[in-house]
Amino acid sequence: MPDHEFDLITTLMMPKKLRRRQYLLEAGDVCTKLAFVSGGCLRLFELDGSGREHILMFAIEGFWMVDVESWRARTPSTRNIDALEDSELLLIDVTSLDRLTLSVPAWDRYFKGVLENAYADAVARISEFVSASAEDRYLRFLSMYPGLFQRIPLHQIASYLGITPQSLSRIRRELAERK
């Protein structure tokens, strides 16, 4: 990649620090920025009718985060993104992304790969819900986000798995006893 292309990328990516519990996206706003997580941990979640939180995905170091629905349709999001730990991000907005896509072929290929990866991961997660038990999903969470289980509260993991904190606590006990 030529130097000027690399420079363009670094110019368009805006560094941002987010403190724990701080929001990157609030429901009602349009998600106009993609976030690359260089440190810390983000969550994408939504609230149901009873005010309960449901986590759709995490993003740790090396992951990208976006609410794709809002980002794609330019409509107000029904979801939220916030930080579970103090985090360091690189943000890029839609127009900058389009510029990169047009003028830096290597970026275009890279980003297409990111998108395909994200899609493949999402399908794999659907597969778990359709066919796997809560325990299986927990084990896959452990390998998908290495070490994360020691960094965030158990009830956040339970929310991601679609079960209650109590159930996850019992699953953990089961696993520990069996091993």
Partner DNA sequence: CGCGACGTTGATTTGCCTCAACGATTGTGG
Partner DNA sequence: CCACAATCGTTGAGGCAAATCAACGTCGCG
Binding stretches for DNA (CB under 7 A): 133-135, 153-155, 162-173
Binder of residue 61, out of DNA, a second copy, none (CB less than 5 to 8 A by kind): none
User: Smallest gap, in angstroms, from Cβ of residue 169 to DNA?
Assistant: 3
Q: Regarding beta strands 33-39 and 87-93, do their DSSP bridges make them parallel or antiparallel, or are they unpaired?
A: antiparallel
Report the residue number, 5 or 88, with the smaller CB distance to a second copy: 5
User: Smallest gap, in angstroms, from Cβ of residue 129 to DNA?
Assistant: 11
Strand positions, DSSP E, the chain: 14-18, 23-25, 33-39, 42-47, 53-59, 64-65, 80-83, 87-93
CA distances from 117 to 35, 110, 167 (A): 16, 11, 30
Binding-site ranges for a second copy (CB under 8 A) = 46, 48, 52, 54-57, 68-69, 72-73, 112-113, 115-120, 122-127, 129-131, 159-160, 162
User: Smallest gap, in angstroms, from Cβ of residue 3 to DNA?
Assistant: 44
Report the residue number, 34 or 81, with the smaller CB distance to DNA: 81
Report the residue number, 101 or 167, with the smaller CB distance to DNA: 167
Helix (H) or strand (E) holding 86: none
Cβ neighbour number for residue 45 with a 10 Å cutoff: 20
